[in-house]
Amino acid sequence: MSTSVLNTTSLNFLSSGSTQAKVTASADTFTFEGTSSGTCVLSGISNPVTGTDGANKQYVDDLSAGVQWKAPVVAASTAAVTLASNVENGDSYPP
């Protein structure tokens, strides 16, 4: 049987008489503690609206889909040069 117990500082979720998860709230922070493994899953998080909102994994995965990391480039010159970008696709700057 599962139950929940509200204390003055936390909400404990119990199963078979022992605490399985604990939620503690302070002024502006929620702390989640799981069982002895130390894990706890927080689900049902909506997509963020403001910059301080939490983001769910699917939102972050969708946002970063297609991002390709490139190796850093170092270049130096004492003369005027014309820089080209995306040369492998035939594009250059200036157009």
pLDDT, one tens digit for every residue, the chain (95 residues):
566 676 767 777 776 666 567 777 776 667 777 665 556 667 778 899 998 888 889 999 999 998 888 888 787 889 988 776 655 655 555 55
Domain range list for the chain: 1-36
pLDDT at position 62 is 93
**pLDDT for the residue 37:** 59
In this predicted structure, what is the pLDDT of residue 74? 80
In which residue are the tokens 């939490």 written? Answer: 54
pLDDT, position 59: 92
| Helix, strand, coil abundance in the chain, percent, nearest 5 | 10, 25, 65
